[in-house]
Amino acid sequence: MNVTTKIGVLVASALAISLLVQVVFVFPEIRSREFGLQQVRIQAGADTVASEITDFLDDIGYELEELARMPEIKTMDVSQQEKLLSLSVHTSPMLQTVSIGIADINGVVTCLESLKPAVIFSKAEAVGMDISDRDYFECCVSTGATCCSDPFEETPCGLMMAAIAVPVWADDGGVGGVIFAEIPIQTLAGMIEKRHLGEAESVYMVDSEGFVIAESEKDLTRLSGGPFGLDYSSYSVVQGIMAGQSSVGEYEYDGEAHLAAYAVIVPSGWGIVFQKPLEVVMAKSRVLPNFLLGINAAVFVTAVLVALVFARRLTNPIRKLADYARMVERGDYTAALDVKGGDEIAHVSSTIKSMVRQMLAMREKELAAIVNSMKDGLITLDQKQRITRLNPYMEQMLGLRAAEVLNKTVSELEDDPRLAVVARLVQTESPDEEVVLAEPHERVVKVHSSKLKGGGDKDLGEVKVILDVTKERELDQMKSDFIANTSHEVRTPLHSIRGFVKLMLDGKVTDPETQHEFLSIIDEQSQHLSNLVSAILDTSAIESGEMTYAKQPVAMNDVIDKALVKLQSIAEEREIAVEADMPGTLPVVEGDSEKLEQVVTNLVHNAIKFSQKGGKVRVTAEAQNTGVLVQVTDQGSGIPASAIPLLFQKFFRVHGSMPWASSGTGLGLYIVKQIVEAHGGQVWVESKLGEGSTFSFRLPLSGNDKNQ
């Protein structure tokens, strides 16, 4: 599961939990509050209407009582009564909606006034009417109290009426008559109709026996039957009213459960019922939770979408970072990391980038240090075979600067005659193939190639290591020269020895003088062979570290003298004058006199060998502060400058320039250098081609002489 999905799931879970909490705890609470509100609302409706009608009936009763107390009424004088009633219906707003009449003690109506005769009945019809059997008249006469009737149909007009009757007291203290008001039920129904009913809400009014007086949504003026209307007395709420209670509760109406509030109209004992199907009440109480549920669902979907978008935006840079890290892990440092913004991820990205940069810089430094200090040539190429690196050693070998070849392809290099050799090196695949570099010095090189692979075997280019095998080739050459020379050196004296021995064995040389001469030659050639073998053995001993030095205080005068005496005959033979120039005594050096004699012998012998006939060789020795300096100078062939650095190497010989001195092993100067250095000294040469050479060596003084 990736981070985006995780954030999406997290947000979805949080919202789901919130929804669950709402469904379990909040929604029932909302529902019960809404139900309570609905209860209160309809109860308030029922109470208000009941109290309005109560007030209306009370007010009329009060007005009638006021009138009953009037003398004009008490006299039971019809004309006076008429006057007062007329005045009353015109002045009292309360009485304008009703008909007021007076009946004598026998129940005969004596007068009647009404502002709206059309809706009630006319005075002519009323006067003389007998109401003695009407309940309100009977109640009033018998109880002497104000009585309110249940609705009844008024015969002359056929309208539903309710009446309030008040006794008129005669002067003798008895009831002298009744003053009554007939109220059209329509007026009361109008008071109910004024009510604004809520959705699916209905209201009805019942009389004290549970018959419907008025009901919303019904033609109230035409109610008839029973005594007055439908019989609702079996309803629990109506029974509540009949018991004089006001309350709220659930009950069955038309086969449907209803929430009903009922209130008693006190003066008449009637009641008002406000009701509403329970279904509607509950639907109402479900609206808010359902609405909230809808909002929650919308919030859920929006929040999850926003979370996903946000998570995507959040994880995008993280994904880029991860991709970058993967690329770096695979070794691809060229990958781009583009994370913008000022947040933590951008900060981490720039830190990682700078870490990678620093790491690359460090690696580059290390690599450069390694490559620059390499004693082999190195060329690196990128995937497109362009030169990306050429180390200083390679620059030196080729005699050109890296900048001249960097970023160039093989074909570009081939186009430039100076750089063509680099193209040749780059194209050489076999490590056995040898390439000859002509400039600036002739060199023989071999090329080792290896491919650079990145992560996933990605081609990153190639590395070429160029090995300088010039020395090996020279060594090979020297060895073959040595074998050729040594065989020649060995064969020549051997031939001469065998030739002279054979002559003598054959008895062809009888002359003692000639025999002596031949034997001397044989001796000389044997000596030469012996020297040759000694040189080879010395070299071998030096190489294997077996050369030993019997060091003791040595006077260099003696050493030089001995060497010169040994070489005297050779010098004379070659007509070379060898002269020595040194002080009578020289400071003592610590050394192996035989080995040091060999040093002087080799140097003087070379000086004689490489001088022309009649030449001069001078040997000097002098004391210096820290040692004794011995120099051998000749006026011979001299040595080419290019050969001087190689002169003291094994088997090195300068070819061609000295045909008269073609014999030799190339070991003499090597042995000289090894012996001098084993004595803590140095040897060197200064030479000019065609003018001669000076070979010098300096030996350190022995401990005692140093202190002097």
Which residues contribute to the site for ligand ADP (CB under 6 A)?
602, 606-607, 610, 634, 636-637, 639, 647, 652-654, 664-670, 693
- Look at residues 34, 10, 99 and name the one whose alpha carbon lies nearest to residue 314: 10
Minimum CB separation from ligand ADP for residue 461, in Å? 46
Taking the least distance from each CB to ligand ADP, the nearer of 276 and 618 is 618
Taking the least distance from each CB to ligand ADP, the nearer of 378 and 667 is 667
Quick count: other Cβ atoms within 10 Å of Cβ 298?
A: 10
Minimum CB separation from ligand ADP for residue 358, in Å? 55
Taking the least distance from each CB to ligand ADP, the nearer of 149 and 693 is 693
Minimum CB separation from ligand ADP for residue 641, in Å? 13
Minimum CB separation from ligand ADP for residue 618, in Å? 12
Taking the least distance from each CB to ligand ADP, the nearer of 328 and 607 is 607
Task: Give every CB contact of residue 20 below 8 A, 6+ residues apart in sequence.
Answer: none
Quick count: other Cβ atoms within 10 Å of Cβ 586?
A: 22
Taking the least distance from each CB to ligand ADP, the nearer of 375 and 655 is 655
- Look at residues 654, 633, 7, 38 and name the one whose alpha carbon lies nearest to residue 305: 7
In single-letter form, the type of residue at position 562 comes to K
Minimum CB separation from ligand ADP for residue 642, in Å? 12
Minimum CB separation from ligand ADP for residue 545, in Å? 21
Q: Is beta strand 616-623 parallel, antiparallel or unpaired with respect to 577-581?
A: parallel
Taking the least distance from each CB to ligand ADP, the nearer of 305 and 483 is 483
CA 110 to chain centre: 106
Residue 226 DSSP SS3: coil
Minimum CB separation from ligand ADP for residue 619, in Å? 12
Quick count: other Cβ atoms within 10 Å of Cβ 474?
A: 16
- Look at residues 63, 118, 45, 115 and name the one whose alpha carbon lies nearest to residue 86: 115
Task: Give every CB contact of residue 253 below 8 A, 6+ residues apart in sequence.
Answer: 235, 260, 275
Dihedral over Cα of 211, 214, 216, 221: its sign: positive
Minimum CB separation from ligand ADP for residue 652, in Å? 6
Taking the least distance from each CB to ligand ADP, the nearer of 423 and 669 is 669
Minimum CB separation from ligand ADP for residue 692, in Å? 7
Taking the least distance from each CB to ligand ADP, the nearer of 81 and 611 is 611
Minimum CB separation from ligand ADP for residue 648, in Å? 8
DSSP string of 576-644?
Answer: -EEEEE--S----EEE-HHHHHHHHHHHHHHHHHTSPTT-EEEEEEEE-SSEEEEEEEE-S----GGGG
Residue 182 DSSP SS3: strand
Taking the least distance from each CB to ligand ADP, the nearer of 201 and 634 is 634
Residue bearing tokens 């300068």: 654
- Look at residues 187, 193, 231, 227 and name the one whose alpha carbon lies nearest to residue 212: 231
Residue bearing tokens 């929040």: 303
Task: Give every CB contact of residue 513 below 8 A, 6+ residues apart in sequence.
Answer: none
Task: For residue 264, give both structure tokens.
Answer: 């008693």
Taking the least distance from each CB to ligand ADP, the nearer of 199 and 691 is 691
